[in-house]
Structure 1
Amino acid sequence: MEQDTHFDSDDLSWDPAGEVAVTLADGASTVEGGPASGAVIVDGGTVTISAAGTYRLTGTLTDGQVLVATGEEDVVRIILDGVDLSNSAGSPFVVQSANEALVYLADGSTNSLQDAAGYADQAEDSPNAALYSLADLTIAGGGSLTVNGQYNDGIVSKDGLVLAAGNVTVNAADDGIRGKDYTVLLDGAYSVTAGGDGVKADNETDEDRGWLLVSGGTLAVSAGDDGVEAFSQLTVAGGTVTVDQSNEGLEAAHIAVSGGTVNVTATDDGVNASGGSSGTGTLAGGMGGGMGGGMGGGETVGDYSVDISGGTLTINSQGDGLDSNGNATISGGTVVVNGPSNDGNGALDVNGELAVTGGTVAAAGSAGMAVTPGSSSTQSGVQLTFGTAVAAGTTIQLADSGGNLVATFVAAKKTASVVYSSSAITAGEDYTVYTGGKAQVAAGLGNGTLDGARQQGSVTAGEYTAARGPGGR
């Protein structure tokens, strides 16, 4: 997907001799140097850039605006090198027209943008973010940027958006960072606090658009609605994504994790592939009869998918943990789900087929809506169903017939069912379940010993209770 963006690494190189220096000051902004200096017009608190070129901005406007209004084929590079820019009536930074705008954060610089709490211009297509672009937008550089979107959104591109580098903090009344055709995080550190969605790509009309990719860098999100959302495809191929507060953590029609580290906390579904916005117990007899499971109880199987092939995905959800309104596949990586305690949701919820062919899966939660790997799975697993839910913090361990530990899991919340699959599990073999003992885990899984553990029962690999069944027998 990276090759489908407007971004080119050559955009990050230029001849400093060609820079235009713009010093921002209330009522006294100045322009000097460079062949494009005549393309900068200062009118009171508004600084307008009207031609392609490289512009280095310094200084402060307590009530002003930087406006980019160039030809549709022009590429404009704006270097923020110690800029503090605010506007009392609207957006302080607007790209009205260009082919591409690059906002480059000068190494070592600290910059800030803050818009008005209410906008004077309320027209439908008017700016509604502290950094607003109608053209392709790239953010790069080694400096820092704080964006306060008091009115609505923080950073918006109504075209494509590439976050190539930078240390960026966004606080927004509604959405934090929003691209239309695509939103891509290549590198840098981005921290978003949003009243609405955290980071999104929302083109709902053009084919092959509305996608979001994280291939590097770090993204931390605290959102009042969805954490990271795309209309079509959401992919994490590298980097670190942490959603520490959200309604739904990751949401898109198609969600893929092939690398990196993803940690999601959600009051509803943790990972949701859909077309919407958004104490020690006793093991109850182990497995029910029959192979299979994994189907969504007769629900419609739509064109939605979750595909985990690498990386680490950790979910803590009050609703469904990993939820697909279509199919789901896990072929690599590590998936840990600390799902719901109530029986109205499940740690795994797949309307179609859940195919597990590799990786490690530990999905813990309630038993009433438990979904298990389907018949197309080539890697075996077990389902542990407790007659009495075990308390948060309980160590749950699994040993083979020779007494060798094959799994150690520590429950993050009250747990009645655990589905576990890994290459260490052999279909048809019996395994003994223990609670207690010693454990050293990261994200719930790790190593342990059976010192002090209590035997709870046994299970047979590959035998699952019926999907959405009551658990146990």
Structure 2
Amino acid sequence: MRTRRLILPLIPLSLAGLVLAGCATTIALPTETSDTSGGSQTSQSETTVATTTDTTAEAVLAANENATVVRDDEWSASDASEITLTGDGATTSASGVTTEEGTVTITESGVYRLSGDLTGSVVVAAPDDALVVLILDGVTITNADGPAIEVVTADDVAVSLAEGSTNTLSDASSYADDADANAALYSAADLTITGTGSLTVAGNGNDGIAGTDDLAVLSGTITVTAVDDGLRGEDSVSIEGGTVSIDAGGDAIKSDNEEEDTRGYILLEDGAVDLTAGDDGLDAYTDIVITGSTLSVAASGDGAHADSVLVVAGGTVIVTESYEALEAPAVTIEGGEIDITASDDGINAASPTSTGGGMADTGETIDVNGGTVVVRAGGDGLDSNGSLTMSGGSLTVFGPQGARGDGALDANGAFAVTGGTLVTVGGAGVAQASGDSSTQPWLSATASGSAGDLIELVDDAGETVLSLTAEVSFSTIVISSPDLVADAEYTVMVAGESVTTVTEGTATIGQGGPGGQPGGGAGGPGGGGQRL
């Protein structure tokens, strides 16, 4: 884990909120009180939080190396030389193309239109300053011994999918451990995929589409199956449009440059991206930035994991299955529609170097500044090993049930709500509400109900301030909203029945009263933990 431009020296601050754990209910109070069962409340008076630099999408992208992309206006299809694949070779009049034993080799810069079938491979071995454009116009390339298309040398390469064309690439069933080229479409140069046709890629031995530099998708319909990673660009992966469907045994989309801290990132700007992964849906060694796109993930690992910053600024993000849905040392939500499900934490701010244990604020951040976010979590809904702040947008957390001591909200450091609408519905393992750093009204109530029950918050004039349908059984509700009035009384209705009355800025206390300790720290139940 590199701390680049993210974590600055720790600064002591007063704790923004108190977390109380009772045997039957968990109550969050804004001030120190006594336990109604005769015990004393445990609280912390001081902690440390990290000051971070700007983690907005604009700032993160500006700090990273710009990706190299071949735009459609940089070349013309009218300049294309025709290459007709003929089973075990090819016919062409182009001077820079040779054929030998099933290998078609392109050695000159230029635009080439490929059609037909080939049992073998297409290899680009052009000068280091060459721009090579491959227009795939109804090709099927199958290679039992290696990649279907391999770029050995060139400056930039574009694969353009001709309008109305269907193209298929399939590679070897296995690769040597030391093989450099180990994907059905492999490039040792910057690679751009464009056009309006379709491309189906079977990565039988390792990755589907992979490169050592930048990998960009501008358009087209791309379907990838791979035994390991689906799309992998070492320096970056960017998707600006098109339809991308990936079913990968490893990570669906990955960028893994471990040597340069301005690379190794993933950018989703537009298009439809549908991912199924045996590991992570998105995995970046540095940053993940989502400014557009419609992203859908079903992953055995994390829905999206970044080792530095993860930002969602727009688009739609749906994670239907994951261990942790969104994870990075710094997670920022600026906008978009986000609907995520996780067996553990929904949004987790933890560092890869976390060793677990303790309640210390280690500098991680979760910032919700906009957007509409719905979280369904088996562990903590939002879990930060550092601070957790909300200044805008809408955030709804369903779960957890509290069996492990997890909670809807868990921050080791400062927790502040200054804007937006926050609702948590779940068990009473650890419920945390905002504290001294918050400027927006809030309340916490003990109110039991089942999935499907309508929850309503009614003011003293009988007007409904907020309503939603519970998706889980629950015993604790936390609400913060600009529509709440300071010191006013509200009635919580569940399935049409009044269950409790609570005053803004306070919390109801159920049987057993407030007790014990705050939610777990890194690595323990309720904590941010470490990347496994």
User: Do they fold alike, i.e. is TM over 0.5?
Assistant: yes
- What is the alpha-carbon distance in structure 2 between the residues aligned to residue 430 and residue 232 of structure 1? 47
Q: Residue 75 in 1 paired to residue 135 in 2?
A: no
- What is the alpha-carbon distance in structure 2 between the residues aligned to residue 398 and residue 340 of structure 1? 21
- What is the alpha-carbon distance in structure 1 between the residues aligned to residue 365 and residue 234 of structure 2? 21
Partner AA of 1:359 in structure 2: G
Aligned to 2:382: 322
- What is the alpha-carbon distance in structure 2 between the residues aligned to residue 427 and residue 47 of structure 1? 75
- What is the alpha-carbon distance in structure 2 between the residues aligned to residue 211 and residue 379 of structure 1? 35
Q: From 96, 109, 115, give the equivalent of 1:52.
A: 109
Partner AA of 1:46 in structure 2: T
Aligned to 2:459: 400
Post-superposition Cα deviations, 1:31-88, rounded to whole Å, max 9, x if no partner, equal 23xxxx2112222221112222111111112x31121222222222211121222211
Aligned to 1:43: 100
Aligned to 1:432: 491
Partner AA of 1:154 in structure 2: G
How big is the shift at 1:178? 1.7
- What is the alpha-carbon distance in structure 2 between the residues aligned to residue 163 and residue 380 of structure 1? 45
Under a length normalisation based on structure 1, what TM-score does the superposition of the two structures give? 0.81
How has the CA–CA distance of structure 1 residues 219 and 373 changed in structure 2, closer, same or farther, with 3 Å as cutoff? farther
How big is the shift at 1:415? 3.4
How has the CA–CA distance of structure 1 residues 232 and 301 changed in structure 2, closer, same or farther, with 3 Å as cutoff? farther
Superposed, 1:386-465 pairs within 5 Å as: 386=447, 388=448, 390-436=449-495, 453-463=496-506
Q: From 386, 409, 418, give the equivalent of 1:348.
A: 409
Partner AA of 2:454 in structure 1: T
How big is the shift at 1:342? 4.5
How big is the shift at 1:333? 3.3
How has the CA–CA distance of structure 1 residues 73 and 318 changed in structure 2, closer, same or farther, with 3 Å as cutoff? farther
Q: From 372, 378, 382, give the equivalent of 1:312.
A: 372
Assess if the C-alpha contact under 8 Å between 2:299 and 2:323 holds in 1.
no
Aligned to 1:244: 298
- What is the alpha-carbon distance in structure 1 between the residues aligned to residue 200 and residue 392 of structure 2? 37
Aligned to 1:379: 440
Partner AA of 1:76 in structure 2: V
Partner AA of 1:409 in structure 2: L
* Structure number with higher relative contact order (C-alpha < 8 Å, ≥ 6 residues apart): 2
- What is the alpha-carbon distance in structure 1 between the residues aligned to residue 399 and residue 283 of structure 2? 20
Q: From 252, 265, 278, give the equivalent of 1:198.
A: 252
Q: Secondary structure of the equivalent of 1:359?
A: strand
Aligned to 2:421: 360
Q: From 334, 339, 351, give the equivalent of 2:394.
A: 334
- What is the alpha-carbon distance in structure 2 between the residues aligned to residue 131 and residue 300 of structure 1? 46
Structure 2 runs not aligned, ≥5 long: 1-60, 331-348, 350-355, 508-513, 526-532
Aligned to 1:168: 222
How has the CA–CA distance of structure 1 residues 419 and 273 changed in structure 2, closer, same or farther, with 3 Å as cutoff? farther
Assess if the C-alpha contact under 8 Å between 2:384 and 2:410 holds in 1.
yes
Assess if the C-alpha contact under 8 Å between 1:255 and 1:306 holds in 2.
no
CA-based RMSD of the aligned residues comes to 2.9
Aligned to 1:155: 209
Aligned residues: 426
Superposed, 1:105-124 pairs within 5 Å as: 105-119=161-175, 122-124=176-178
Aligned to 1:287: none
Q: From 315, 318, 338, give the equivalent of 1:263.
A: 318
Assess if the C-alpha contact under 8 Å between 1:259 and 1:312 holds in 2.
no
- What is the alpha-carbon distance in structure 1 between the residues aligned to residue 421 and residue 380 of structure 2? 19
Comparing 8-17 and 101-110, the one that deviates more? 8-17
- What is the alpha-carbon distance in structure 2 between the residues aligned to residue 458 and residue 200 of structure 1? 50
Aligned to 1:21: 82
- What is the alpha-carbon distance in structure 1 between the residues aligned to residue 203 and residue 269 of structure 2? 26
Identity among equivalent positions (%) equals 41
- What is the alpha-carbon distance in structure 2 between the residues aligned to residue 209 and residue 374 of structure 1? 38
How has the CA–CA distance of structure 1 residues 218 and 302 changed in structure 2, closer, same or farther, with 3 Å as cutoff? farther
Aligned to 1:135: 189
Under a length normalisation based on structure 2, what TM-score does the superposition of the two structures give? 0.73
How big is the shift at 1:92? 1.0
Aligned to 1:223: 277
How has the CA–CA distance of structure 1 residues 218 and 123 changed in structure 2, closer, same or farther, with 3 Å as cutoff? same
Partner AA of 1:230 in structure 2: A
How has the CA–CA distance of structure 1 residues 181 and 319 changed in structure 2, closer, same or farther, with 3 Å as cutoff? farther
